Structure 1
Amino acid sequence: MGPRIGIIGGGAIGGYTGGMLTKAGHDVTIVDQWPEHVAAVKANGLTIRHNDGEINVPANYININELQSIDDPFDYVFVAVKSYDTEWAAMLMRRYLKPDGAYVDFQNGINDYRLAETIGAENALGCVITIAAGCYEPGIVLRTDTNPLAYKIGEQDGSDTPRVRELVEVISSASGGTYFTDNLWGERWAKLAINCMVNPMAGITGLTSDKVRTDPRVRDIRTQVGAEVIRVGRALGHTIGDLLGVPAQMFVDAAEGRNIEDLEIEMDKQATNSGVTGRASFLQDVIKHRRTEIEFLNGFVSEQGKKTGVPTPFCDALVAVVREAGVGKLEPNPDNLAPVATLLQN
């Protein structure tokens, strides 16, 4: 019998991952706070769509208020809620995790620090997610990419441990492209660069994930944002690898006026080869008039930039656009980028 897994957050990533693990025969319970979604899965199973295909899985979804009925604790808890919900979600699940169990951060941004502060660094693993997914209606999750790389799992200190190898094996049974990493922080910052380039601009403009990578209206801003994230991450001492196949240094070079066409060729390839055509999670939140994760993406980079002395004017400006609109009030439109675009003239 394999490990018993609990997932807090059964939307796009939590739902897709939990559903595929269930399909592979693992013992998975998914806890979610959207009653209609839970009810739909209980009634009809979880529908997973990917690459024009569709499967239905008898995923074990429960509402948060049903968590009290759990008697058999989990070996692992995957935290797949929004960044701003990290602390309470981790504490909620603590009672239902075995004493020697571990949390696994499945979120956007870099919440590993906060998770470690909440439940102890020795109890926390990280998983860098490189798939794209959506959950637009109850009972259905979509995987909206064709990336061969899906999950990178590691310890916060980079060590190679039995538990991280077990998780790699478990998730590999449900999804190809799952790997161990001894450079969790570097991988986190690489993913953060992607999130900071794609997510806020998708939410601000309404563009889909592929268009944010290639649309001329956002291209130069995207490059500057990516370069800021990479510079800050490097200033903190992290080794930042490729951003879904594109070398990190290419963004820095292009932001400084070097080899711009080379980067655009690579970004066009990425948009085509990854098959990412859906709505970024940030845009999904904007459409639903929900709070966004801006403070934990570009806002986090701005904060770390101040600590390291690395300027982050483009990240600062994107945060300002979202803040000025107010929670749940941002209406996506490319014209929203006008204040950010003025920085390109400097």
Structure 2
Amino acid sequence: MKIAIVGAGAMGSRFGYMLHKAGNDVVLVDGWPQHVENINQQGLIVDDNGVETVAKIPAMFPEDCHEVPELIILFTKSMGLKKMLQDIQPMLGQNTKVLCLLNGLGHSETLKEYVPAENILMGVTLWTAGLQGPGHVVLSGDGNIEIQNVDPKSQAAAKEVCDVLTQAGLKAQYSENVIFSIWRKACVNGTLNSSCAILDCNIKEFGELSEAGSLIRKIIQEFAAISKTDGVILDVEEVAQGIEAIYDPDQAGAHYPSMHQDLVQNHRLTEIDYINGYVARKGQELGIATPYNQLLTTLVHAKEELLIK
């Protein structure tokens, strides 16, 4: 399948590498000049659980993309989604399917401004990855993907994409209720991403804190109060136990979440407004108290102010 990975940072590079390795025609699309240059000059360097390899995958800037792929997988940052969709308009063919795997909440409405509903696939993934530097991705741990079509008529297309991803080892499955899973994943990001960025720690180190259990449950309770207004019922204890399971280094314990990578490691703006900030904003609109998410959002923005000059 001809596939464009749009937003080829850590996760995009992981997916691009695995899909390329499985024989798909892959192009990596990203706006980071050094990243694109390194990939084109030396290939994508991949540290796959301690084994290093080089994958020769073409990379380009969004404004240079003119070929129409069969599938676009979106991994751009939430705050850059609208501009990215504007930049890649030439790639959005009549039959091009667009799979959104962004962190955070509220992306489907933005997608519908640029992509017909029958071409939109929403998904959620628990794979992780990190960037050692431009053009150098580090893979660790295990994961999976859930995918569902927005338009009921596009179920066959969603299942075909699941098959392509699974053949690449990405363990994709068709979901009957991906919105539930997106909210559940948002709880993972809302507890671990913001906390690890503020505390400058990895997932295992966060899980070892004496207050970790209480803190994540308070945050999840607020997510559950907002998700209920969207028709999604979250079991706070079940979600919390799922998060605690990934503290294990054999799961994702050694991983520094993407918000830590962005803010602490690379001094870049974060997606906080689409995770904890989304819950805080909806809480204000609906008259639902979300003090933990409001505080986390404020602290992350304060740390952005300190670190990003």
TM-score for the superposition, normalised by structure 1: 0.81
CA RMSD of aligned residues (A): 2.3
Q: Which amino acid aligns with 1:222?
A: I
Distance in 2 between residues matched to 1:308 and 1:126, nearest whole Å? 25
**CA, structure 1 residues 114+169, in 2 after alignment: closer, same or farther (shift >3 Å)?**
same
- Matched residue, 2:6: 8
Which portions of structure 1, spanning 4 or more consecutive aligned residues, are displaced by more than 4 angstroms?
157-160
1:314 is paired with a residue whose SS is helix
- Matched residue, 1:334: none
Residue 202 (structure 2) pairs with residue 224 (structure 1)? no
Distance in 2 between residues matched to 1:173 and 1:285, nearest whole Å? 30
Q: Is the 8 A contact 1:46 1:58 kept in 2?
A: yes
- Matched residue, 2:236: 249
Q: Give the drift of 1:208.
A: 0.5
What runs of 5+ residues in structure 1 fail to find an aligned partner?
Answer: 241-247, 255-262, 332-346
Distance in 1 between residues matched to 2:171 and 2:154, nearest whole Å? 18
Q: Is the 8 A contact 2:224 2:233 kept in 1?
A: no
Residue 106 (structure 2) pairs with residue 129 (structure 1)? no
Q: Is the 8 A contact 2:104 2:186 kept in 1?
A: yes
Q: Which amino acid aligns with 2:129?
A: A
**CA, structure 1 residues 277+234, in 2 after alignment: closer, same or farther (shift >3 Å)?**
same
Q: Give the drift of 1:52.
A: 2.3
- Matched residue, 1:186: 180
**CA, structure 1 residues 298+268, in 2 after alignment: closer, same or farther (shift >3 Å)?**
closer
Residue 205 (structure 2) pairs with residue 211 (structure 1)? yes
Q: Is the 8 A contact 2:118 2:151 kept in 1?
A: no
Q: Is the 8 A contact 1:77 1:93 kept in 2?
A: no
Q: Which is worse superposed, 79-88 or 100-109?
A: 100-109
Distance in 2 between residues matched to 1:206 and 1:134, nearest whole Å? 15
Residue 274 (structure 2) pairs with residue 296 (structure 1)? yes
- Matched residue, 1:323: 301
1:270 to 229, 241, 246: 246
CA displacement 1:99-123 (0-9 Å, x = unmatched)? 1222111211022222223434333
**CA, structure 1 residues 112+271, in 2 after alignment: closer, same or farther (shift >3 Å)?**
same
Residue 156 (structure 2) pairs with residue 162 (structure 1)? yes
Tell me the matched-pair count. Answer: 306
Distance in 1 between residues matched to 2:138 and 2:52, nearest whole Å? 9
- Matched residue, 1:143: 139
Residue 26 (structure 2) pairs with residue 49 (structure 1)? no
Q: Is the 8 A contact 1:290 1:327 kept in 2?
A: no
Distance in 2 between residues matched to 1:144 and 1:158, nearest whole Å? 35
2:74 to 79, 103, 112: 79
Distance in 2 between residues matched to 1:78 and 1:293, nearest whole Å? 18
1:200 to 189, 194, 201: 194
Distance in 1 between residues matched to 2:287 and 2:151, nearest whole Å? 25
Q: Is the 8 A contact 2:165 2:171 kept in 1?
A: no
2:83 to 80, 84, 88: 88
- Structure label with greater radius of gyration: 1
2:112 is paired with a residue whose SS is helix
Distance in 2 between residues matched to 1:161 and 1:155, nearest whole Å? 6
TM-score for the superposition, normalised by structure 2: 0.90
Q: Give the drift of 1:278.
A: 1.9
CA displacement 1:154-208 (0-9 Å, x = unmatched)? 1135666111011001111112421111111101000000000010111111011
